[in-house]
Amino acid sequence: MKATKRTMGISYAIRDVLLPARELEKKGVEIIKLHIGDPNKYDFETPKHVRDALCVAVEKCDNGYEESEGNFELRQAIVEKERKKNKIDVEVEDVIITNGVTESIQFLTAATVEPGDEVLAPGPSYPSYMEFTKFFGGVPVTYRTIEEENWQPDVDDLRKKITPRTKFIVVINPNNPTGALYSDKVLKQIADIAGEYNLFIVTDEIYDLMTYDGTHHSPATLAKDVPMVLVNGFSKVDLLPGWRLGYSVFRDPTGELDEIKDAVGRQLRLRLSANAPCQMAVIEALKHPKDHLGEMKRKLQERGDFAYKRLNEIPGLSVRKPQAAFYIFPKIESKRWKTDKEFVLDALHNAHVLVVPGSGFDPLYGKGHFRAVFLPNTEILGRAFDQLESFMRKSK
Please tell me the predicted confidence (pLDDT) of residue 245.
96
Write the CA distances from 144 to 151, 194, 201, 341, 366, integer angstroms: 9, 16, 17, 21, 10
Q: Which CATH architecture has domain 48-287?
A: 3-Layer(aba) Sandwich (3.40)
R_g of the chain, CA atoms, integer Å = 21
Contact 386, 379 (CB under 8 A): no
Beta bridge partners of 33: 354
Contact 396, 334 (CB under 8 A): yes
pLDDT tens track for 322-373: 999 999 999 999 999 999 999 999 999 999 999 999 999 999 999 999 999 9
pLDDT band at 74 (very low <50, low <70, confident <90, very high): very high
pTM for the whole structure: 0.95
Q: At what angle do helices 18-26 and 340-351 cross, to 10 degrees?
A: 20
Q: Find the largest Cα–Cα distance for the chain.
A: 62
- Phi, psi for 240 (deg, rounded to 5): -130, 45
Judge whether residue 396 has pLDDT over 80: no
Handedness of CA 202, 208, 213, 218 (dihedral sign): positive
- Residue pLDDT, tens place only, 245-255: 999 999 999 99
Q: Tell me the sheet residues that pair with 247.
A: 97, 232
Count, in order, helices (H) and strands (E) of the chain. 15, 15
Task: Say yes or no to pLDDT of 13 above 90.
Answer: no
Per the prediction, the chain carries an average pLDDT of: 96
Q: Quick check: 245 and 100 in contact, CB under 8 A? A: yes
Structural domain 5-45+292-395, CATH architecture: Alpha-Beta Complex (3.90)
Q: Does 11 score more than 90 pLDDT? A: no
Residue 195 CB coordination number (10 Å)? 15
For residues 234 and 288, give the distance between their C-alpha atoms in angstroms, rounded to a whole number. Answer: 13
Stretch(es) of the chain classified as CATH 3.90.1150.10? 5-45+292-395
Listed in order, the ranges of the chain carrying CATH 3.40.640.10 are: 48-287
For the stretch 286-319, pLDDT in tens is 988 899 999 999 999 999 999 999 999 999 999 9
* Angle of CA points 346, 178, 227, to nearest 5°: 140
Strand partners, 96: 248
Report the pLDDT value the prediction gives residue 293, as an integer from 0 to 100: 95
- Residue 317: closest CA among 351, 368, 364: 368
Over residues 254-263, the pLDDT tens digits come to: 999 999 999 9
- Say what the pLDDT of residue 206 is: 97
Q: What is the pLDDT of residue 20?
A: 92
**The pLDDT of residue 210 is above 90:** yes
pLDDT tens figures, 167-203: 999 999 999 999 999 999 999 999 999 999 999 999 9
What is residue 129's predicted lDDT score, i.e. its pLDDT?
A: 97
- pLDDT bracket for residue 94 (50, 70, 90): very high
| Cα separation, 171 vs 153, whole angstroms | 9
Q: Give 92-153 as a DSSP string.
A: GGGEEEESHHHHHHHHHHHHHPPTT-EEEEEES--HHHHHHHHHTT-EEEEEEEEGGGTTEE
CA–CA separation, 53 vs 332, rounded Å? 45
DSSP assignment string, 158-183: HHHT--TTEEEEEEESS-TTT-----
Residue 244 is predicted with a pLDDT of 95
Buried b (16+ CB within 10 A) or exposed e, 365-390: bbbbbbbbbbbbebebbeebbebbbe
Q: Is residue 208 scored above 90 in pLDDT?
A: yes
